[in-house]
Amino acid sequence: MRLLPFIMIPLILSACVEPQQYANMRAIGGDKEQGVMQMSVTYAPGSEQLNWSQAHTEANRRCMAWGFAGALPFEDTTEQCTAINADGTCAQLTVTRTYQCSVVR
């Protein structure tokens, strides 16, 4: 019985934690001949987090469908605030990353 409060408090507090929301990128363009593709997402930076793993998996899948071995991200990622809150912070952000399809199989 003495341990019951120590067990219940973490359980109660964990119920108050919001699950992390992830923003998934989607393909918005590409060029099979040049082996490049663009992945993009528009999301709320304060309440969502970019899912880079999903973006890389999707870019790999699409490059492989073109006959390439996989995809590698370019270092540059463009970010553009498309909506601003009343306090001047970004409410909606569009992020785009280009991927280079790697060597043909």
Q: What pLDDT, in 10s, does the model give residues 8-64?
A: 555 554 555 556 788 999 999 999 999 999 999 999 998 889 999 999 999 999 999
Q: What is the pTM assigned to this prediction?
A: 0.74
Pairing of strands 90-101, 36-43: antiparallel
pLDDT class of 102 with cuts at 50, 70, 90: very high
Burial class (CB in 10 A: 0-12, 13-18, 19+), 99: buried
